Structure 1
Amino acid sequence: MHVTPPPVTRPVAAPAWWQVSGPGFAALIGLFALTAIYRFDGGSEIQRAFDLSGQSLLLIGLVAYLVGAALTVPAGLVLGPRFPTAVAISALVALFLGVLLAAFANDGTLLLAGRAFAGLGTGAAAGTTVALITKLRERRGVVTGLTAALAVLALLLGPVVGRLISEALGFRLVQLATIPFLLAALVVNAVIGIAGLTSAKRPVPPVPNGPPYP
């Protein structure tokens, strides 16, 4: 008599530590972009270029970015562990669009849209990074500490690098300077995605003490 073998299900594997680097890279670029428009004294070349008040700069430069990030962090936390590459690439596309809008903006409205799009990308990447770290089974402490240190460094480097570039060449080049890093992050996430698919296709070992196949 033919006996149909029970379906073999692959348990959901915990992410490897190196898988965090994909969305983590995207999140670091977003954190740098968050503070790169400011100087440590609170001023900004964008404020001078668009003749913005302090409140307008706060709304356009910071609030719009943080609101966009807050909207997509939950999506990163929920979808990130299951589809880390897809979420990370989507985040990078949003960041890329936000950077271009901010770089070529000729009024506050386009600048606001650019900052909001960049915030959307940063939030999705950051949520995915946090979700993957919490599911790690090995090297979680090391990855957490390294990621936190790099995040703080990105936030601190933003005003320094942004001021140096903007005072010499204008604020638009600060935005455009992130594009090579965004392209590099796309490549990194694509490679990690391919590696993840390859490991997922490995044959499943037989279930111990399971019924024999006919």
Structure 2
Amino acid sequence: MYVTPPMQSTSQAAAKPAWLIIGPGFAALIGLFLLTAIYQFGGRSAIQLDLGLSRQSLLLSGVVAYLVALLLALPLGLLLGGRYPTAVSVPAICLMLLGVLAVAFTPNGFLLSVGRVLGGLGAGAVIGGTVALIRGLRAGRGVAAGVAAGLGVLSLVIAPFLGELVSDVLNFRVVYLAAAVAVFFALVAASVTGIVTLVSAKPPVPQMPYGMPYPPQNPSPYSPEGPPSV
């Protein structure tokens, strides 16, 4: 009698290669860096002086707009980033790139707000997608989560100091141009790992450890075994 072979569990079938974290993970760190890089500890920041903004305007258009957009897109990354990592991360990183370039070349506070909203939406999606991919790892989940959390906190902490230093020495636009280059490399990494995963994926071969896929049929009257018994 034919017995149906055991099927793979849903968690095993849904597991993704660990290298898919590289692109969105790098973009997530840049997104966290950009969240606090705009902050200035004392006095008026370079971006305030260049664009003629008040501290309240910079807070609303530069920090609040980015944070709200990030929180809005975060659930999307958490829900879909683990199942469709490349389809989520690549458009999200493209949004980040557009947002960073908009801030780098902004002539006024309005375009600053637009750029920060775009960047926040992309950052929220890649952060959520990175968390979803780490949760779906078969092995090393705790180590990956610890490393990602540590690097994320480090990005948030050093961003104001580094952003202020570069802005005072050169220009605030240099900070976002450098961030745009980093986002571009994250986009390349996410695209390449997605293509490699797609090419290397093989259709599952059904295993039949318990015998033939179909039960044997009765022999025909003309077979060597003779006619069936009556």
Larger Rg over CA atoms: 2
Q: 2:134 maps to which residue?
A: 133
Contact 1:31 1:122 in 2 (8 A): yes
Q: 2:75 maps to which residue?
A: 74
Letter in 1 for 2:159: G
**Counterparts of 2:45 and 2:214, CA distance in 1:** 70
Contact 1:22 1:85 in 2 (8 A): no
**Counterparts of 2:128 and 2:44, CA distance in 1:** 29
- Cα RMSD, aligned residues only: 2.4
**Counterparts of 1:182 and 1:105, CA distance in 2:** 18
Q: 2:171 maps to which residue?
A: 170
**Counterparts of 2:181 and 2:131, CA distance in 1:** 24
Kindly tell me the number of residue pairs found equivalent between the two proteins. 209
**Counterparts of 1:150 and 1:56, CA distance in 2:** 30
User: Counterparts of 1:56-135 in structure 2 under 5 Å?
Assistant: 56-135=57-136
Deviation at 1:195, TM superposition (A): 2.4
Deviations, residues 72-112 of structure 1 (Å, cap 9, x unaligned): 11111111112101211111111111011111111111101
**Counterparts of 2:43 and 2:8, CA distance in 1:** 55
User: Counterparts of 1:195-210 in structure 2 under 5 Å?
Assistant: 195-209=196-210
Deviation at 1:203, TM superposition (A): 4.5
Deviations, residues 10-56 of structure 1 (Å, cap 9, x unaligned): 95231233322221111111111111122344852212222222221
Deviation at 1:166, TM superposition (A): 0.8
Deviation at 1:178, TM superposition (A): 1.0
- Of stretches 42-51 and 188-197 in structure 1, the one that deviates more from structure 2 is 42-51
Q: 2:219 maps to which residue?
A: none
Change (3 A) 1:16 1:160: same
Query: Which ranges in structure 2 are unaligned for 5 or more consecutive residues?
Result: 216-230
Query: Which ranges in structure 1 are unaligned for 5 or more consecutive residues?
Result: none
SS at match of 1:178: helix
Deviation at 1:200, TM superposition (A): 2.2
Contact 2:14 2:83 in 1 (8 A): no
- Taking structure 2 as the reference length, the TM-score comes to 0.82
**Counterparts of 2:157 and 2:182, CA distance in 1:** 17
**Counterparts of 1:9 and 1:161, CA distance in 2:** 49
User: Counterparts of 1:154-169 in structure 2 under 5 Å?
Assistant: 154-169=155-170
